[in-house]
């Protein structure tokens, strides 16, 4: 009897502990999540603006047809289900019937049709919806995207970071969507949070949408994005408790300090879709960089280990190709350039560059994108000292601000430049733009290297319409092999993006788009 009583007491205690644990793990409603950011959005409408600064608030304000998990798999969002036609030329979206915009009007297929064509016309990533010719709306909750050819990136293009569904009744008023006043004031979407206030360069305030279509969500009452260009000040705010989350952190001093603080959680998850690479771009239309031997000689002279370990304090990893290693299309069959000064000098000799009396073979200028000393200025200064070892005199050219640098690079007025460029999930969206000869334009983050290889053009055109995953991998594998041989770009590092949070923050999005996804599951404990 005593034994039975003891057993019952133990079981009751265990159940009580389990219940307490479940209660502790259960999402808690309410509270304000304060996010620190060094990035300054011009406005909040991701339909007409790329970049992380706009995508974070845009994904909270606007719902998209689909969302993505950490395994690169599409999940229902505004679209309950979807079906791609056998020929790959049409995609049918079946929408929820209970989704409302923040002004109370229903979300319908007309809004989806308007938004897809608006993004196609206005978004910088022209390849995202280039094959879409029209969107049919057979009924208020069915949208059919009609395409001129198969488009394997179409589902990914419907992600929160890329495809906000806009209210047609607000934006279809004849005004230019890029400068529409409702991009910044009284913004109306159908996402989990409602626009409250936007002070450019200072803060963004969003509040819970009580009629959000996912029952019981979001858990937070409010999201406040505090903008400060000084990452150290933001970290101090996190340590002090004024800020609860810092996404997109890359500076080694910040990451080192956060790593040593037991009150701060740090993760690199949630950046797989962005696919951020740091690289050295060559102007292949300008002598002597039009000679592949010179480009390869420079690559052999660079110590990526020094850049990743010394300049990035070990938080970055080496990059060896145009497609980031976490992508399903990444290939290991690429030409690599380990540090080899003798090989570098041999290639320069073969290219006809002999040392003069000062030990110099040639002189070049390197630019760098302002805004990140570690990935820009510090790498440029390193190149100046390192390339001197093989007889290349390098002058570092600073730009006073981003527009100045962007204008120089876009107008092809450079020898070499450091840069940070994103894959954006699918190569069709973020990779093709850099290598297609048809995209040699006077616009930043196009093919400003003036790189042209007909074989690469053909491979990318085929991969951009191939729906068989294995065949796409093979096409991109060949593309990566050729590009790393031709070397219009020397790939340096995978950018070490991290998210820092206080321990009270739970369930920040860790799918492939990270905080550029809706934070409807996030809560404070």
CA nearest 243: which of 514, 519, 502? 502
Average of per-residue pLDDT across 257-265: 96
**CA angle (213, 215, 216) in 5-degree steps:** 125
Beta bridge partners of 503: none
Q: What DSSP line would sit under 360-419, residue for residue?
A: --EEEEEE--TT-IIIIIHHHHHHHHHHGGGTEEEEEE--SSHHHHHHHHHTT--SEEEE
Q: What is the pLDDT of residue 35?
A: 98
Which position has the higher pLDDT, 414 or 13? 414
DSSP state of 107: P
Q: In the prediction, which pLDDT does 490 show?
A: 98
For the segment 181-197, the average pLDDT, to the nearest whole number, is 97
pLDDT at 22: 40
Query: What is the mean pLDDT of the segment spanning 328-341?
Result: 96
Q: How far is residue 104's CA from residue 2's CA, in Å, rounded to a whole number?
A: 64
Give the residues across from 132 on adjacent strands.
147
Mean pLDDT along residues 174-202: 96
Q: Which two tokens stand for residue 339?
A: 């540090």
**At residue 222, what are phi and psi to the nearest 5 degrees?**
-155, 150
Query: What mean pLDDT do residues 116-135 have?
Result: 93
Q: Binning pLDDT at 50, 70 and 90, where does residue 375 land?
A: confident
What's the CATH class of domain 32-220+499-524?
alpha beta
Question: How far is 275 from 426, CA to CA, in rounded Å?
Answer: 9
* Cis before 218? omega within 30: yes
Q: Residue 297 in 3-state DSSP?
A: helix
Phi, psi of 347 (to 5 degrees): -65, -40
The predicted-structure confidence for 148-170, as pLDDT tens digits, reads as follows: 999 999 999 999 999 999 999 99
Q: What's the pLDDT at 372?
A: 75
* pLDDT for 440 beyond 50: yes
pLDDT of 21 reads 39
By CB atoms closer than 10 A (0-12, 13-18, 19+), residue 221 is: middle
pLDDT at 23 over 50: no
Q: What mean pLDDT is predicted for residues 397-419?
A: 94
Closest among 88, 147, 127 to 460, alpha carbons compared: 127
The per-residue DSSP string of 243-254 comes to --EEEEE--HHH
pLDDT for residue 16 is more than 50: no
| Backbone phi and psi for residue 85, each to the nearest 5 degrees, phi listed first | -65, 150
Selection from 178, 160, 164, 156 nearest residue 107 by Cα: 164
For residue 14, the model assigns a pLDDT of 43
> Mean pLDDT in the chain?
93
Residue 311, both tokens: 């300049």
**Looking at the domain 276-494, which fold is it?**
Dipeptide-binding Protein; domain 3 (3.10.105)
pLDDT band at residue 5 using 50, 70 and 90 as cut-offs: very low
- Please give the backbone phi and psi of residue 59, each rounded to the nearest 5 degrees, phi first: -70, -20
Before 288, cis peptide (omega within 30)? yes
- pLDDT surpassing 70 at residue 291: yes
503: its two tokens: 């321990």
Q: What percent of the chain has pLDDT over 90?
A: 87
Task: Say if CB 101 and CB 188 are below 8 A apart.
Answer: yes
Question: So what's the pLDDT on residue 3?
Answer: 44
pLDDT tens column, 458-503: 999 999 999 899 999 999 999 999 999 999 999 999 998 999 999 9
Q: Sorting pLDDT into bands at 50, 70 and 90, what band is 401? A: confident
CA distance 207 to 316: 35
The sign one gets for the Cα dihedral 518, 169, 48, 181 is negative
Domain ranges of the chain: 32-220+499-524, 276-494
Q: What band does 103 get if pLDDT is binned at 50, 70 and 90?
A: very high
Closest to 146 (Cα-Cα) out of 115, 117, 108: 117
How much helix, strand and coil, in percent to the nearest 5, is found in the chain? 35, 20, 45
Average pLDDT over residues 132-138: 98
State pLDDT tens for residues 25-53.
Answer: 689 999 999 999 988 888 999 999 888 99
In whole angstroms, give the CA distance from residue 50 to residue 176.
Answer: 17
Distance CA 513, CA 111 (A): 23
Cα 32-33-38 angle, rounded to 5 deg: 135
Q: Are 191 and 60 in contact (CB under 8 A)?
A: yes
Beta strands of 243-338 (E only): which ranges?
245-249, 264-267, 276-282, 317-318
12 Cβ contact list (under 8 Å, min separation 6): none
CB count in 10 Å sphere of residue 9? 10
Same topology for domains 32-220+499-524 and 276-494, yes or no? no
328 versus 223: the higher-pLDDT residue is 223
> Using 50, 70 and 90 to split pLDDT, how confident is the model at 309?
very high
The dihedral region occupied by 201, where left means phi > 0, alpha psi between -120 and 50, and beta the remainder, is: left
């Amino acid at each position: 009897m005593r034994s039975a009583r003891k057993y019952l007491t133990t079981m009751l205690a265990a159940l009580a502990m389990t219940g307490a644990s479940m209660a502790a793990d259960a999402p808690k409603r309410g509270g304000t999540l304060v996010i620190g950011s060094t990035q300054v959005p011009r406005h909040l409408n991701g339909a007409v603006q790329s970049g992380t600064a706009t995508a974070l608030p845009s994904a909270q304000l606007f719902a998209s047809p689909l969302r993505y998990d950490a395994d690169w798999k599409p999940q229902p969002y505004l679209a309950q289900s979807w079906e791609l036609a056998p020929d790959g030329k049409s995609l049918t979206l079946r929408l929820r019937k209970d989704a409302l915009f923040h002004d109370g009007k229903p979300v319908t297929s007309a809004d989806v049709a308007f938004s897809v064509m608006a993004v196609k016309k206005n978004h910088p990533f022209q390849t995202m919806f280039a094959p879409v010719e029209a969107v049919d709306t057979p009924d208020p909750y069915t949208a059919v995207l009609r395409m001129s050819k198969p488009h394997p990136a179409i589902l990914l293009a419907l992600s929160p970071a890329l495809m906000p569904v806009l209210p047609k009744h607000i934006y279809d008023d004849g005004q230019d969507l890029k400068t529409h006043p409702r991009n910044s004031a009284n913004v109306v979407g159908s996402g989990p949070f409602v626009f409250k206030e936007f002070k450019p360069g200072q803060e963004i305030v969003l509040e819970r949408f009580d009629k959000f279509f996912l029952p019981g969500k979001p858990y937070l009452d409010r999201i406040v994005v505090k903008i400060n260009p000084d990452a150290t000040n933001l970290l101090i705010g996190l340590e002090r408790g004024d800020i609860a989350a810092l996404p997109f952190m890359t500076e080694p001093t910040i990451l080192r300090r956060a790593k040593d603080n037991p009150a701060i959680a740090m993760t690199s998850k949630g950046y797989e879709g962005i696919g951020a690479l740091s690289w050295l771009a060559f102007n292949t239309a300008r002598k002597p960089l039009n000679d592949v031997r010179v480009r390869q000689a420079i690559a052999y002279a660079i110590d990526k280990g020094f850049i990743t370990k010394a300049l990035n304090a070990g938080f970055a990893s080496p990059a060896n190709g145009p497609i980031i290693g976490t992508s399903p299309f990444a290939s290991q069959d690429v030409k690599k350039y380990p540090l080899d000064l003798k090989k570098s000098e041999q290639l320069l000799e073969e290219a006809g560059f002999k040392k003069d009396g000062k030990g110099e073979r040639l002189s070049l200028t390197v630019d760098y994108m302002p805004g990140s000393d570690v990935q820009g200025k510090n790498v440029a200064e390193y190149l100046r000292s390192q390339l001197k070892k093989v007889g290349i005199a390098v002058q570092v050219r600073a730009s006073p601000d981003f527009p100045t640098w962007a204008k120089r690079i876009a107008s092809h007025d450079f020898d070499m430049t450091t840069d940070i460029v994103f894959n954006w999930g699918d190569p069709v969206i973020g990779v093709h733009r850099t290598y297609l000869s048809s995209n040699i334009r006077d616009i930043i983050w196009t093919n400003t290297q003036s790189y042209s290889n007909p074989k690469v053009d053909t491979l990318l055109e085929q991969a951009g319409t191939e729906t068989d995953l294995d065949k796409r991998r093979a096409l991109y594998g060949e593309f990566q092999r050729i590009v790393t041989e031709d070397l219009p770009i020397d790939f340096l590092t995978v950018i070490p993006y991290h998210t820092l949070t206080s321990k009270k923050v739970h369930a920040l999005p860790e799918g492939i788009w990270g905080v550029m996804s809706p934070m409807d599951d996030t809560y404070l404990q």
